[in-house]
Amino acid sequence: MKVTIVGTGYVGLVTGACLAEIGNDVFCVDVDPRKIEILNNGGVPIHEPGLQEMLRRTRAAGRIQFSTDVKASVEHGDIQFIAVGTPPDEDGSADLQYVLAAARNIGKYSNGFKVIVDKSTVPVGTALQVQKVIDEELKTRGLEGSDKHRFSVVSNPEFLKEGAAVDDFMRPDRIVIGIDDDDAGNRAREKMKRLYAPFNRNHERTLYMDVRSAEFTKYAANAMLATRISFMNDLSNLADTVGADIESVRRGIGSDPRIGYHFLYAGCGYGGSCFPKDVQALAQTARENGHTLRILEAVEAVNNDQKEVLVNKIVKRMGEDLRGRTFAIWGLAFKPNTDDMREASSRRIIEALLRRGATVRGYDPVARDEAERVFALDLADRPEDLKRLHFMKTQQDALTGADGLVIVTEWKEFKSPDFWHLKSALKTPVIFDGRNLYEPEAMAEMGIDYFAIGRPHVELGRNGSSN
């Protein structure tokens, strides 16, 4: 099938590569010539495991192309996926300007029946807005009501985890398709059924529903996952106060099959391109419709506060004035297996340490370049602080001579370090662990002062062992 993907970000690139992988003829378009140049030269503008290899195969097979030619992209695909960004507006609502611009181009250059697929995460009612914009363009061209230029707007939200997006697309838990029950919708349904047939051979994964319910489903899914994270983070702070171990609590409640273990890890807050903006957007949708999603507003507030918890532990241990102190930061991206720095907890933590006069040496396996770019913008008005922020090539470079280690992202390479070497490299053998990677008793036995999230702090004896 001939498919067009509008937007070459995480969702667009993964969608395009995976659809090309199973044999479709895919045209990816973007208004950013820098991205297209990178892709046409064999590179990938994002870090996503398995994506570059898949793009290399499909490009060599001639099943995927990249261009800034909007007219050619519309003429190419019978199915037009809109996979552009929907950043939060000032009031927290989703900014739809890029979605509607894509729709306008489709209406401007449409050359036949089109299935327009909203793949971007969009609020309820967006499909209707997309339909109106396309109708306006067709009317301008004198094609309104033309059978040849009819179209159907479909909602097909993505459920891709950054760091595992390729696998999520190729082995989906479910495929949600919201579609109108009319003649155009029936034609669109057949095309979408054919497109996703390879993913349904073992068993039917597609859930058909009305468009508004499909739009709502995406926000509801991310809001639920964010709620689980904030719930555990809130409990972890109480566990700190009452002397409970949140990791034991996690195992205790997660063993209940009605609850399960997923997204029950306490930490230093969620980030990324989805949870923060989607929680805000759903809460704003509720306000616009006269409702208050009290749980979601609490979820956001807890997450905002949670990003300061690790800093508070550092201040309690070392004092408010951190001038002359150096901290190693392991992990900069918001999660492992990505270089995405959007809403990353490291940004809040590092800025807070710099504001208190500390020097920071950050290390991340893949996010170093993106972190340098982001912090140059974040600290543009604080040049003296920026001078005290250094990005290291190895975790050892960050560690040597530091007054403490701060773990922010749970990369695999951080899970089993040489603790004796780590202890000797640090000026002060202290770890502030925002991801609860280690056992407090084991750390105390090695003479490492260990502070985690919602886990008991084991005091060290004078000889460096636990009491």
Confirm whether 219-305 and 307-451 share one CATH topology: no
Measure the CA–CA gap between 381 and 376, rounded to whole angstroms. Answer: 9
Q: 2-209 sits in which CATH class?
A: alpha beta
Measure the CA–CA gap between 362 and 372, rounded to whole angstroms. Answer: 10
Helix (H) or strand (E) holding 186: helix 183-196
Residue the block writes with tokens 């003829």: 25
Q: 219-305 sits in which CATH class?
A: mainly alpha
Chain center to CA of 109 = 32
Alpha-carbon distance values, 141 to 78, 151, 458 (Å): 19, 15, 73
Measure the CA–CA gap between 427 and 445, rounded to whole angstroms. Answer: 18
pTM: 0.91
Q: Is residue 379 helix, strand or coil?
A: coil
CB 458 within 8 A of CB 444: yes
Residue 442's nearest CA partner among 420, 409, 412, 421 is: 420
Give the largest CA-CA distance in the chain.
86
Reading the chain (467 residues) residue by residue, the pLDDT tens digits are 999 999 999 999 999 999 999 999 999 999 999 999 999 999 999 999 999 999 999 999 999 999 999 999 999 999 999 999 998 888 888 899 999 999 999 999 999 999 999 999 999 999 999 999 999 999 999 987 767 678 999 999 999 999 999 999 999 999 999 998 889 999 999 999 999 999 998 889 999 999 999 999 999 999 999 999 999 999 999 999 999 999 999 999 999 999 999 999 999 999 998 999 999 999 999 999 999 999 999 999 999 999 999 999 999 999 999 999 999 999 999 999 999 999 999 999 999 999 999 999 999 999 999 999 999 999 999 999 999 999 999 999 999 999 999 999 999 999 999 999 999 999 999 999 999 999 999 999 999 999 999 999 998 864 445 44
Could you state, in order of their start, the residue ranges of all structural domains in the chain?
A: 2-209, 219-305, 307-451
Alpha-carbon distance values, 170 to 28, 33, 137, 182, 206 (Å): 19, 28, 35, 30, 13
Report the catalytic residues: 274
Residue the block writes with tokens 């105390």: 444
Query: How many Cβ atoms from other residues are within 10 Å of residue 393's Cβ?
Result: 9
CB 447 within 8 A of CB 465: yes
Alpha-carbon distance values, 218 to 160, 170, 171 (Å): 11, 18, 18
Helix (H) or strand (E) holding 127: helix 126-140
HSE, side-chain direction, 13 A CA sphere, residue 185: 14
Measure the CA–CA gap between 150 and 111, rounded to whole angstroms. Answer: 10
CB 341 within 8 A of CB 333: yes
Q: Which CATH number fits domain 307-451: 3.40.50.12500, 3.40.50.720, 3.30.590.10, 3.10.150.10?
A: 3.40.50.720
